[in-house]
């Protein structure tokens, strides 16, 4: 039998004892239970504790220890692996994780509910174990964009005051952005050009006649950014320009323009 630990809020103890561990949405849209093999190292075994604790309230988490048959189908992989997890038996998942030089960030997924008969025991765990955000995050400057900073999280206000993200907040006025676009075009700075276009994309209407010429820019990424930037605009002529970009010789530009057309169509019908 393979042994795993599943971390859950302390408030769920009664339910787990009564009916087992219920499923959540997991890999590839499949419902199941996330867990980690019980290894000789307590710290490695419970490495997910601090990261999960950020999202489960102030009462802390407990460890639910599970026994599964060695041939139980599971998936195993690193949470950041773009190739997706590997489908293996439970015993093989333990062997894979135990053999890694650095198993931090790895996880096992059971694609079904865990019954109460498979729960070996429930016990308290040390709440300071593990990493937060991602392994080796300590000592790395945190990202302060709106997508990464947790609103109301511990220290978030001081973090934003100390290091505001350059792409958050109110955008510069169109006049300033058009000046930046002209200057970036003159010196061939495609990074600054795309950044200014992205700022313009935060507006509901924009100076379409001043940026239409960028549809012929030699850099495909600039043309793709143009398509993304004008997507939300209600300015007359946007659909015509997107239709032109949808026939661009570069596949990335065509993809960006096609997605923009679909987004506008969905928004208008909704």
Mean pLDDT of 159-181: 75
Determine which helix (DSSP H) or strand (DSSP E) holds 156, and give its type and residue range: helix 156-162
Question: What is the C-alpha end-to-end distance of the chain, expressed in Å?
Answer: 52
pLDDT band with cut points at 50, 70 and 90 for residue 40: very high
Per-residue pLDDT, 140 = 66
In sequence order, the 6+-apart residues with CB closer than 8 A to the CB of 263 are: 231
pLDDT band at 165 (very low <50, low <70, confident <90, very high): low
Name which residue leads in pLDDT, 243 or 82. 243
123, 124, 126, 129: CA torsion to nearest 10:
50
State how far the Cα of 173 lies from the Cα of 243, in Å rounded to an integer. Answer: 27
pLDDT value of position 43: 92
| pLDDT of residue 136 exceeding 80 | no
d(CA 75, CA 33): 11
Torsion of CA 170, 188, 256, 230, to 10 degrees: 40
Other Cβ atoms closer than 10 A to 163: 12
Mean pLDDT of 238-248: 95
Task: Find where tokens 């992989």 sit.
Answer: 77
Rounded CA-CA distance 65/37 in Å is 9
Residue 181 has which token pair?
């676009």
Residue where the block lists tokens 């320009």: 241
pLDDT at residue 141 in the model = 65
In this predicted structure, the answer to whether residue 145 has a pLDDT above a threshold of 90 is no
Q: Which backbone phi and psi does 106 adopt, to 5 degrees?
A: -85, 155
- pLDDT tens digits for range 78-104: 988 877 899 999 999 999 999 999 999
Residue 258, Cβ density class (10 Å: 0-12 exposed, 13-18 middle, ≥19 buried): middle
Question: Is-contact 241 212, C-beta < 8 A?
Answer: yes
State residue 167's pLDDT score: 58
Q: Is the pLDDT of residue 55 over 70?
A: yes
Q: Which of 24-28, 106-110, 124-128, 199-203 has the lowest mean pLDDT?
A: 24-28
Looking at residue 91, its pLDDT comes to: 96
């Amino acid at each position: 039998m393979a042994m795993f630990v599943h971390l859950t809020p302390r408030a769920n103890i009664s339910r787990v004892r009564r009916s087992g561990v219920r499923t959540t949405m997991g890999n590839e849209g499949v419902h199941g239970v996330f867990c980690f093999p019980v290894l000789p190292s307590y710290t490695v075994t419970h490495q997910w504790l601090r990261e999960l604790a950020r999202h489960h309230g102030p009462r802390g988490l407990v460890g639910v220890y599970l026994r599964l048959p060695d041939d139980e189908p599971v998936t195993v992989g690193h949470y950041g692996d773009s190739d997706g997890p590997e489908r293996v038996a439970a015993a093989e998942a333990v062997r894979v994780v135990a053999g890694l030089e650095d198993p931090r960030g790895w996880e096992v997924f059971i694609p079904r509910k865990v019954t109460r008969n498979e729960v070996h025991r429930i016990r308290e765990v040390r709440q300071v174990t593990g990493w937060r955000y991602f392994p080796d995050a300590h000592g790395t400057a945190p990202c302060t964009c709106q997508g990464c900073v947790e609103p109301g999280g511990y220290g978030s206000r001081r973090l934003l005051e100390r290091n505001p993200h350059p792409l958050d907040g109110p955008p510069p006025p169109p006049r300033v952005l058009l000046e930046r676009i002209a200057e970036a075009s003159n010196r061939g700075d495609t990074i600054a050009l795309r950044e200014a276009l992205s700022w313009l994309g935060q507006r509901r209407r924009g100076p379409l006649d001043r940026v239409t010429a960028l549809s012929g820019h030699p850099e495909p990424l600039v043309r793709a950014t143009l398509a993304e930037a004008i997507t939300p605009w209600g300015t007359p002529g946007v659909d015509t320009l997107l239709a032109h970009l949808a026939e661009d010789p570069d596949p990335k530009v065509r993809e960006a323009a096609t997605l923009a057309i679909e987004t506008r169509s969905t928004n208008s019908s909704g």
